Structure 1
């Protein structure tokens, strides 16, 4: 059971809880990705827990000062980007409530709450020396070495988001041309990207020693079988960075910025 689920079980069902549940149902009905649903669930659980600790059990009791105090409390444990992520979830929920319920005499408090500032720091791509050092740790013949080599080259060649890469199936890649069909892109959009010859050779080497390579099989899988998760992909990159004595490890998104 996730931390979010555990917290939700502890918190009693109130008007606030029911409306958050209804909001999440609305997001699912709009066919948003599971990861987006989890984002809303996680951030609104934090908001709900704070409100209940303040004795607030109804959406219409939420005011602008309460939201501001919540943001200040969050800033003690979250970086500016994390605070802004929660702000966006709260804003989306209260906007939905305003339109969906149309409560008489209630005004959405987010109209008075400004978004917290996020410092605009330059986002660096993974550096070429770091990439070379990490790829150098993949020269072995093990399944793990071949997988790490293939997925890092694929990230670099295609500029795919991590979620898009792990969502690929074997049938989505044309090994002759390098064309990759992205069926689960952001916003549910389809698009094509391409793998270079080096990435294709690395991918072929990886798939050659894998057991489950039917067309419906995931392109990148766990060693024990089943689709590689986001956390699993992140851990692979971190382990390769550690082996290459690179600290801090490049983020998954830094590969996309290097595209």
Structure 2
């Protein structure tokens, strides 16, 4: 057993170790935020082995305003720290495993309807009309229509995550090798995702006609003319604004494109293994939820199309 270390020392050493593993920037930010918030909650820098399960439970209870998914991520971050502490022989007690993890959030899978998607696309190029008392009405074209059109197509055509789209770079899109785009998913794992010619053309149109100057190492989608990359919250605001203008009232707006892609992919291919690879899931557990939704459609379709039901039952 190594010499006893304080929580602050443990966090710093843990973050250095994880940084050396080349984890994604988002993962590192989540780790540091979780662990520093825990340290701040304790209002001290106690030795690791003096921290109790009561301390951890009180911290988790203080975060009851978070979603189940966010709360579970906090638990996972703390658990990762204690797993590392045991591996490095700073402690022999995995404190977090003594605490029951928060229940995972199970979201209902409700894809966008075709009507909702059509309304979203229809508002992208529509001008905004202004009526100011005492002045003539005037219109202003909405900003970045080609960028937003390409973003909607990429989300719908590939099913990639919010953060994955934000991290796309120009070099990940290669017109000389069409029908695919390179994506870096959770844990900085790389995968190649199929993409349609229509979406590739939309990306090219955005880069050539609207984007202007860029290099291969620049982020593919940027905010206005500042060349700043999208952040997940920025992308959410853009999609939320489009949905509001289109009269689409939904929650989890960006992630719903992933649901929409997955359900429609399974309806057309009935290939859950291909979908698993495209979405970047390590297991089939989540894909099975999509499959169950599609299976329900299959039974409804059979009830309508069955020759026996149409011939005998009527």
Give TM-score scaled by structure 2 length: 0.69
Q: Kindly tell me: are residues 216 and 82 of structure 1, through their superposed partners in 2, closer, same or farther at Cα, counting changes over 3 Å?
A: closer
Q: Kindly tell me: are residues 250 and 116 of structure 1, through their superposed partners in 2, closer, same or farther at Cα, counting changes over 3 Å?
A: closer
RMSD: 2.4
The 5 Å alignment of 1:6-25 reads 15-25=6-16
Q: Kindly tell me: are residues 70 and 136 of structure 1, through their superposed partners in 2, closer, same or farther at Cα, counting changes over 3 Å?
A: same
In 1, distance between residues paired with 2:105 and 2:219? 38
Q: Kindly tell me: are residues 72 and 159 of structure 1, through their superposed partners in 2, closer, same or farther at Cα, counting changes over 3 Å?
A: same
Tell me how far 1:236 sits from its aligned partner: 1.3
In 2, distance between residues paired with 1:82 and 1:186? 16
Q: Kindly tell me: are residues 227 and 68 of structure 1, through their superposed partners in 2, closer, same or farther at Cα, counting changes over 3 Å?
A: same
Greater RCO, 1 or 2 (C-alpha within 8 Å, sep 6+): 1
The 5 Å alignment of 1:134-149 reads 134-140=120-126, 144-149=144-149
Q: Kindly tell me: are residues 183 and 82 of structure 1, through their superposed partners in 2, closer, same or farther at Cα, counting changes over 3 Å?
A: closer
Check conservation: 2:181, 2:195, Cα contact below 8 A.
no
The 5 Å alignment of 1:4-153 reads 15-52=6-43, 57-75=46-64, 77-103=65-91, 107-140=93-126, 144-153=144-153
Tell me how far 1:227 sits from its aligned partner: 4.2
Unaligned 5+ runs, structure 2: 127-140, 262-314
Larger radius of gyration: 2
Tell me how far 1:177 sits from its aligned partner: 6.1
In 2, distance between residues paired with 1:125 and 1:28? 36
The count of aligned residue pairs is 241
Unaligned 5+ runs, structure 1: 1-13
Check conservation: 1:166, 1:229, Cα contact below 8 A.
yes
Give TM-score scaled by structure 1 length: 0.82
Runs of 4+ deviating beyond 4 Å: 140-143
Q: Kindly tell me: are residues 40 and 157 of structure 1, through their superposed partners in 2, closer, same or farther at Cα, counting changes over 3 Å?
A: same
1:212 and 2:209 matched: no
2:156 is aligned to 156
Q: Kindly tell me: are residues 224 and 158 of structure 1, through their superposed partners in 2, closer, same or farther at Cα, counting changes over 3 Å?
A: same
Check conservation: 1:130, 1:246, Cα contact below 8 A.
yes
In 2, distance between residues paired with 1:115 and 1:206? 45
2:249 is aligned to 247
Check conservation: 2:11, 2:35, Cα contact below 8 A.
yes
